[in-house]
Structure 1
Amino acid sequence: MVPHLTTALNGPLLELEKRFLDAAPDIERWLRSQWQEHTPPFYGSVDLRNAGFKLAPIDMNLFPGGFNNLSADFMPLCVQAAMSAIEKICPNAKSLLLIPENHTRNQFYLQNVAQLVNIFRMTGLNIRIGTLIPDIQAPTPVELPNGQSLLLEPLVRSGNRLGLKDFDPCAILLNNDLSAGIPDILKNLDEQFVLPPVHAGWAMRRKSNHFAAYDEIADEFAQLIGIDPWRINPYFSVCKHIDFHGRQGEECLADSVNVVLALIRQKYQEYGIEETPFVIVKADAGTYGMGVMTVRSADEVIGLNRRQRNKMSVIKEGLNVSQVIIQEGVHTFERVEKDGKAGVAEPVVYMIDRFVVGGFYRVHGERGIDENLNAPGMHFEPLAFETCCSLPDCQQTPDAPPNRFYAYGVVARLALLAAALEIERTEPSEEAL
């Protein structure tokens, strides 16, 4: 299943994809040199938007929860990449403790957990699941719709190590983004690897830090292959001390929207783009598409009504929003058709270690090309990628599936590299944890 680009502005993107193809040896060599200097996040997923004139990341998730949406064809890539990641961190590893989110009623998320268990078991690891849910005081089986089952077990802390009863793992894999904060039981685990580190969770992480690092990566990469970095990089700004209920920070928000929109208009004029510029205002921390709004004019953020303020003021775990990122909106001109129905789509690329291991399309039949697709009513197309994102075919046209997906994989890996810098630069002192 290959999406259709519905815009006539695919000429520039074809040119961008051709640049990626022509420079593929240089790109891979440059990325390889970067990974010699920086440690990639253990895993991650990147939401991309393909505007026809621009291909850019809009979000980077360091605790990806959709491995169940990947095609089964990608399983060998996942296992191989997981082996590489584990060998680098703990070559003699025999056991792994997986700590998931507390979503025991979310069957889709639990299927993701089951898929992670399958991947790491196939690497030769003994993997078990520890839960942060305080009500679970004994091993508790959870049945899945596909007939599989998961066994959730209470965590046991012993000094500076964390495990389960009669289970002392070599490493701890977090699939919990710590939106509600870092629990004491996860602090100061000096004798075990915690992957990703706890400061990569939303209790401490900020999207603006990530995109500040991405600015640097995009500039260097653009110079390498001779393109305008804007073609792969969204403008952004940040507003702090926001209180949507108290209407505090509206002036900062309006000013930032004006600044970013002006920058976009300048680029649209330069490239002869006739689309309407827009920005996405979203919480600087958090996920699940909460606290997000599309804005086309600064007037739209002045005097928000009660419903809008309620929507923007709270994110996952009921946390209040006090800081927002104003990010250049990137249109998506991709549509996926299935069973006679079409929906606006955006690619999501998954990585383990430094390797692209697959992806899918997030599709929403009721959202527009300038709206957030990570919202109720979305669905995933796990068979969307006919090929993986790492094998371009120079004998085919630039927009052939393997070449378009190679372009996706390149931009996703740039975001992964930015996340590596972000994690390095935001590492707190032991006292702070």
Structure 2
Amino acid sequence: MVPHLVTALNGPINELEQRVLDSTPAIERWFRLEWMEHTPPFYSSVDIRNAGFKLAPVDTNLFPGGWNNLTQQMLPLAVQAAQAAIEKICPEARNLLVIPENHSRNTFYLANIAQLVRIFHMAGLNVRVGSIDPAIKSPKKIELPNGDTVTLEPVVRTKRRLGIKNFDPCTILLNNDLSAGAPGILEDLHEQYLLPPVHAGWSVRRKSNHFRSYEEVSKRFGKLLGIDPWLINPMSSRAEGVNLGEGVGVDVVTSHVDAMLTKVRRKYKEYGINEKPFVIVKADSGPGGTSVMTVRDAKEVQALAQHAHSRTSSAGNGPALDDLIIQEGVLTNERVHEGVAEPVVYMMDRYVVGGFYRVHADRGSDESLKSPAASFVPLAFSDSSHLPQHSAKPGASAPNRFYMYGVIGRLAMVAASYELEATDPDAEVYE
């Protein structure tokens, strides 16, 4: 199924698409050389925005949920990628333990876990689901609305290993982003592979590090293609020590927003873009969603601070000082079923394995689409992401557009590999 797209199929995006298609051999060689030097994240998903004049990633998730949104046609790609990833890390692997979020009542999330279990089972592994939720004290079988079942079992920790009763895995797959911090039960597992590593979790990870790495990647890739890196890079800056609810750092945020809007206006003028610039303000750590704010004028920051103050006052206490990321807002001009849409690309190891559109009928093209009211429509990646149609005119071919999404997703994955290397606490540092 190819979703119906109403996309801005003119201007620089067509020129960019043509440049990408013409450079396919050089692009694929570039990625191949990158993966000779760097290790890709075990799995990842990337939110992409297509403004018609710009195509850029706006968020990269290293503990992707939503695997249940991948269609049956996409599963062979995911299974092959899973086999490649496991063979690289632990060729003799037999048992895999999946550790989910503590969302045992969220059947949509558990359908995602069931899909991961299915993928790795078909990749040739015995797979069990071990919960670190203290409330899970005995095996708990959960029936899902789609007919699948998930059995959550309490984890058992020995001195150097983690498993469940009568099941000793060599590899542990985290589908838990560690937003609440890394529990001690996951520490010092020197005899097992923990994927992704603990320092990929939100207790350590910062979006600003990722987008700093992505900026570096986009400059190098832009040089390869002979394009302005801005066409694939959302500019960003970081405001430190802010608490809008308590009025701390409001001037700092206002200054960052004003500077970013000025930069975006300059780029819009350069490219003759007749759109109103905006920025996205969000926490520098954590998965985001409800806390993502769209700002179109620096004066709006004061109103945001007042709104945050009223919320924290009613709650009785405000959050601690936080760091915010101020990111260039990227419009999405894609529509699916008359709703505003953005593509989400899923990857495992270094391979694009599928994706979907996140669709929200009640959000604008300059707003975040992450909310419980969003719906999901599969992308037709299973046939097309690696088979662009070079003879087609730019903008006329869904496979070509999907190939571009895969390229942008893989660029974000390269940036994530740089990011993880730079923040690895066990990496050797040479003076």
TM-score if structure 2 supplies the norm length?
0.94
Q: Which amino acid is 1:304 matched to?
A: L
Aligned to 1:169: 169
Change (3 A) 1:329 1:423: same
1:258-294 deviation per Cα after TM superposition (whole angstroms, max 9, x unaligned): 1111110110000000100000000111115131100
Aligned to 1:346: 342
1:357 paired residue among 353, 360, 379:
353
Q: Which amino acid is 1:128 matched to?
A: R
Distance 1:134 1:324 in 2: 32
Distance 1:225 1:104 in 2: 46
Distance 2:43 2:321 in 1: 26
8 Å CA contact retained: 1:138, 1:154? yes
Alignment of 1:267-346 (within 5 A): 267-304=267-304, 306-309=306-309, 322-337=322-337, 342-346=338-342
Deviation at 1:243, TM superposition (A): 1.0
Distance 1:393 1:169 in 2: 43
Secondary structure (helix, strand or coil) at the match of 2:354 reads strand
2:412 paired residue among 415, 422, 429:
415
Distance 2:359 2:384 in 1: 19
Deviation at 1:376, TM superposition (A): 3.1
Secondary structure (helix, strand or coil) at the match of 1:331 reads coil
Question: Please, which runs of 5 or more residues in structure 1 have no aligned partner?
Answer: none
Aligned to 1:2: 3
Change (3 A) 1:309 1:113: farther
Aligned to 2:367: 371
Q: Which amino acid is 1:236 matched to?
A: S
Distance 1:261 1:312 in 2: 28
Distance 1:177 1:64 in 2: 9
Aligned to 1:227: 227
1:36-82 deviation per Cα after TM superposition (whole angstroms, max 9, x unaligned): 00000000000000000000000000000011011211000000000
Aligned to 2:403: 406
8 Å CA contact retained: 1:291, 1:311? no
Change (3 A) 1:204 1:361: same
Does 1:134 find its partner at 2:134? yes
Change (3 A) 1:309 1:327: farther
Name whichever of 349-358 and 396-405 sits farther off. Answer: 396-405
Q: Which amino acid is 2:412 matched to?
A: A
Does 1:157 find its partner at 2:153? no
Does 1:29 find its partner at 2:29? yes
TM-score if structure 1 supplies the norm length?
0.94
Count of matched residue positions in the alignment of Structure 1 and Structure 2: 421
Q: Which amino acid is 1:224 matched to?
A: L
Deviation at 1:385, TM superposition (A): 5.1
Secondary structure (helix, strand or coil) at the match of 2:281 reads strand
Aligned to 1:19: 19
Deviation at 1:2, TM superposition (A): 3.0
Tell me the percent identity. Answer: 58
Distance 1:189 1:260 in 2: 43
8 Å CA contact retained: 1:294, 1:371? yes
8 Å CA contact retained: 1:244, 1:312? no
Distance 1:30 1:242 in 2: 39
Aligned to 1:425: 422
Name whichever of 389-398 and 418-427 sits farther off. Answer: 389-398
8 Å CA contact retained: 1:358, 1:388? no
Change (3 A) 1:278 1:183: same
Distance 1:66 1:184 in 2: 27
Question: Please, which runs of 5 or more residues in structure 2 have no aligned partner?
Answer: none
Q: Which amino acid is 2:144 matched to?
A: L
8 Å CA contact retained: 1:44, 1:351? yes
Q: Which amino acid is 2:359 matched to?
A: V
